[in-house]
Amino acid sequence: MKLLLLFTLVACVVYLTESKALVCYYSSKAVYRPEPFKYEVEDNDPFLCTHLNYAFAGLGEDFTIKVLDPRNDLCDDGGKCGFDRFTRLKEQNPELKTLLSVGGASEESSRYSMMAEDPATRKIFIDSTLKLLKEHKFDGIDLDWEYPTKKGGSPDDYVNFVTLLREFSEALHPEGMILTAAVSAGKNTIDPAYDVPGMSKYLDLINLMTYNFHGNWEKYTHHRSILYAHPKDEGRALTLNQDYAVNYWIEKGAPKEKLVLGLPFHAHTYTLDSAAETGIYAPASNPGPSEGGYNQICASQMTEDWTIVHEPDMNEPYGYYGLNWFAYEDSISLGIKAKYAVDKGLAGCMVWSIDADDFHGTCYGKPRPLLNAINDALNL
């Protein structure tokens, strides 16, 4: 009886302390930012994320995987060896998984659609990807096709994307590699683009891009990654929040233990029409200043006369100075969202992108306040 009780207690402790995934995208373009925002591969802390995704590789016209920045990514001809330096972070933390993310918003969806429709071109893409992953000791691939059936894609992508995932799974999993995907959180994309049960069979993690719900393409202010619907939301806007997206993916058949809640470290900006209206749904006919990372936001808050607002009906802050209006996340809002992921039973959280945190600790004296807040809430 005592042994049974001890086993039960140990099992409970293991269950309660089971770590959650924290998937961190690293934008390799961050090496080209001016100081103090320039971010090198070695600026990644290999102990704060469970998965680090190198963004991005692409798809070539010949349907092979394409290295988008050979000078930065490869060692050839005096290159900076970004891929190899990235995967060597595992020497500090052998538990870390390093993945190569393929796609992104700049890639042509139509090319991925053409590749996915033909068994021969799928094989070219998969074989070349596996070869590149092995050469640079990546642990797997993250597919960021934005989006099947959209932006020049074909209705057949709905089926072909699952076929592509199945064939990738058959190639990667026997090699001990993992397969993940970054997917839309918008209902208008989810419905035509994703056979959710089919995808879920082959993906190890499903990274929900639960951000960019709103932006300066609209003529009013709103938050890009609001957790719950705002009281003023109505109609389609009621679907443009993280809680709705998570529940909809689960309703469509995604296992919640594979879903990863996406959290942005970047802001969306607007130019207010009038300084007299500054809240959510304030008129804003024009884009704001160039959108930056949290590190740029908090640096600006130290030099400009910002008004920062935490509405009682929102978990996220927004701020403004003059007619410049910013929707962003801080350590408090991200901690709330990470706890939501835990309470919901999700696999964990995803960050786009790790290089936008205040990694120097310039603003409040503590490096990486956003990433540490997520870690604290996930109990990593």
Cα–Cα distances (Å) from 125 to 10, 53, 60, 130, 144, in that order, read 45, 19, 9, 9, 14
- End-to-end, the C-alpha distance of the chain in Å comes to 33
Does 1 have pLDDT greater than 60?
no
pLDDT confidence of residue 3: 39
Residue labelled with tokens 């990274």: 207
Q: Which of 96-100, 361-365, 370-374 has the lowest mean pLDDT?
A: 361-365
pLDDT confidence of residue 12: 37
Does 363 have pLDDT greater than 80?
yes
**Residue type, position 13, single letter:** V
Pairing of strands 259-264, 21-27: unpaired
User: How many of the other CB atoms lie within 10 Å of CB of 253?
Assistant: 13
In terms of Cβ atoms closer than 10 Å to its own Cβ (0-12, 13-18, 19+), residue 367 is middle
The rounded distance, in Å, linking the Cα atoms of 372 and 178 is: 25
Q: Pick the residue with more confidence: 140 or 4?
A: 140
> pTM of the predicted model, to two decimals?
0.94
For the segment 28-55, what is each residue's pLDDT rounded down to a tens digit?
999 999 999 999 999 999 999 999 999 9
Query: Bridge-partner residues for 181, per DSSP?
Result: 143, 206
For the segment 224-261, what is each residue's pLDDT rounded down to a tens digit?
999 999 999 999 999 999 999 999 999 999 999 999 99
Task: Look at residues 99, 176, 177 and name the one whose alpha carbon lies nearest to residue 144.
Answer: 99
Q: How many residues are present in the chain?
A: 380
Q: Is 251 a catalytic residue?
A: no
pLDDT confidence of residue 73: 98
Half-sphere exposure of 335 toward its Cβ, with a 13 Å CA cutoff? 10
Q: How many helices (H) and strands (E) does the chain have?
A: 12, 14
In terms of Cβ atoms closer than 10 Å to its own Cβ (0-12, 13-18, 19+), residue 3 is exposed
pLDDT confidence of residue 380: 56
Phi-psi region of 348 (alpha: psi -120 to 50; beta: other; left: phi over 0): left
Q: Which two tokens stand for residue 2?
A: 């005592």
User: Domains of the chain by range and CATH?
Assistant: 14-265+329-378 (3.20.20.80)
CB 262 within 8 A of CB 350: yes
Residues 122-150 have a mean pLDDT of 98
Does 212 have pLDDT greater than 50?
yes
Residue labelled with tokens 């997520």: 374
Query: What is the rounded average pLDDT for all residues in the chain?
Result: 94
pLDDT category at 289 given cuts 50, 70, 90 is: confident
The DSSP result for 127-145, as a single string, is HHHHHHHHHHT--EEEEE-
Residue from 42, 91, 108, 146 carrying the catalytic annotation: 146
